[in-house]
């Protein structure tokens, strides 16, 4: 039986209701005209020096042809002050990621809302020859269990993460447009994704791909000879998915490096498997020790290798 590949809905940014509906239905959508050409050009210019300085990844997470600009919100004023705080992004996070609960504090009932926080902001620039990533759910990092919702429909609150990828260039099947399976946010954790079920999020520069953390997707293969596929990504997660006490700001590098390995680990200076807590794609301890970027590989060596 031929596999039916769902299409991606393309909706103009002024139709916020339509965008929220499409994400509920499909787990993703493309927002047309998310931003204008001048803003895209500015962000491309602000990130170019960092992309040019980046070195090939040695491992499975990215093909060696990919260059990244990590700490994107810190490094690009335009990303930080325009896109990160865009009302459309806030509206999406408010619906899918913010969390409100009520508790008794003594005999008084209190209701608290934890707002989504940017978990990672990074540019992905896939160069010619770059192979596709494996299909994955980004929320594997948060160990999310997904119930099978294919019969019931999507229940808001199932996801703890969502991503916004703004096209820095026109993205095509040839240059590595993101691969995705619309509707796969509804799949139970036991169902494996197949490449034959995926479609491509082809975008014009300035469009924005939005997806929930439970949607299967992957960076595409770049089979061109001379095009670079640049997308600028903002990923948000629940605001409370972090440590209660922020000791990272309270202790100097020298203090931390004088602690025992076990204490460093207990206090979060190693990573949570697979990929939580890195800085400039290094573990905090590699970063504090000044390990050069070209000495690095995959974070979690226990991850299964590709077939
Ligand atoms: O580059 C892309 O299109 C997506 C990258 C991605 O999914 C990832 O690195 O988790
Ligand atoms: Fe991903």
| E strand or H helix that includes residue 21 | helix 16-26
User: Quick one: pLDDT at residue 115?
Assistant: 98
Query: Which ligand approaches the C-alpha of residue 218 most closely?
Result: 1
b/e sequence 151-178, b meaning 16+ C-beta within 10 Å: eeebeeebbbbbbbbbbbbebbebbbbb
Q: Helix, strand or coil for residue 243?
A: coil
**Residue 177 alpha carbon, nearest atom of ligand 1:** 3
Nearest alpha carbon, ligand 1 atom 1: 219
User: Quick one: pLDDT at residue 297?
Assistant: 78
**Residue 163 alpha carbon, nearest atom of ligand 1:** 7
> Which CATH fold topology does 10-100+113-242 show?
Jelly Rolls (2.60.120)
Q: What are 122's two structure tokens?
A: 């990074």
Spatial distance between the Cα atoms of 130 and 56, rounded to a whole number of angstroms: 11
Nearest alpha carbon, ligand 1 atom 7: 218
Nearest alpha carbon, ligand 1 atom 10: 138
Q: What are 202's two structure tokens?
A: 């082809």
Q: Are 207 and 34 in contact (CB under 8 A)?
A: yes
User: Quick one: pLDDT at residue 97?
Assistant: 98
Spatial distance between the Cα atoms of 301 and 303, rounded to a whole number of angstroms: 5
As separate numbers, helices (DSSP H) first and strands (DSSP E) second, the chain gives: 8, 12
CA distances 17 to 35, 88, 161, Å, are: 18, 10, 20
Spatial distance between the Cα atoms of 126 and 70, rounded to a whole number of angstroms: 14
* Residue ranges for the chain with pLDDT beneath 50: none
Q: Who lines ligand 1 at CB under 6 A?
A: 124, 133, 138, 178, 217-219, 231
Spatial distance between the Cα atoms of 276 and 105, rounded to a whole number of angstroms: 32
Domain boundaries, the chain: 10-100+113-242, 243-296
User: Quick one: pLDDT at residue 303?
Assistant: 66
Q: Helix, strand or coil for residue 185?
A: helix
């Amino acid at each position: 039986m031929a596999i039916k590949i769902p299409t991606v809905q393309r909706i103009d940014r002024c139709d916020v209701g339509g965008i929220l509906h499409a994400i509920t239905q499909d787990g993703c959508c493309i927002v047309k005209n998310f931003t204008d050409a001048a803003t895209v050009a500015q962000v491309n210019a602000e990130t170019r020096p960092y992309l040019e300085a980046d070195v090939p990844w040695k491992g499975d997470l990215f093909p060696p042809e990919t260059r990244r600009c990590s700490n994107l919100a810190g490094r690009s004023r335009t990303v930080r002050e325009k896109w990160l705080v865009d009302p459309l992004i806030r509206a999406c996070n408010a619906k899918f990621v913010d969390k409100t609960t009520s508790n008794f504090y003594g005999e008084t009932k209190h209701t608290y809302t934890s707002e989504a926080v940017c978990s990672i902001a990074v540019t992905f620039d896939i160069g010619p020859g770059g192979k596709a990533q494996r299909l994955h759910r980004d929320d594997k990092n948060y160990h999310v269990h997904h119930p099978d919702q294919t019969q019931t429909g999507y229940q808001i609150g199932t996801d703890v993460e969502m991503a916004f990828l703004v096209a820095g260039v026109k993205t095509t099947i040839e240059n590595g447009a993101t691969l995705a399976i619309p509707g796969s946010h509804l799949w139970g954790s036991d169902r494996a994704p197949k490449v034959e079920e995926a479609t491509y999020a082809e975008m014009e520069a300035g469009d924005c791909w939005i997806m929930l953390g439970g949607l299967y997707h992957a960076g595409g293969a770049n089979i061109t000879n001379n095009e670079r596929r640049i997308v600028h990504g903002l990923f948000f997660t629940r605001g409370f998915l972090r440590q209660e006490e922020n000791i990272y700001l309270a202790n100097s590098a020298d203090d931390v490096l004088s602690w025992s390995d076990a204490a460093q680990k207990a206090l979060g200076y190693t990573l949570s498997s697979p990929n939580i807590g890195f800085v400039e794609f290094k573990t905090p301890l590699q970063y504090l020790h000044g390990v050069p970027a070209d000495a690095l590989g995959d974070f979690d060596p226990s991850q299964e290798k590709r077939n």
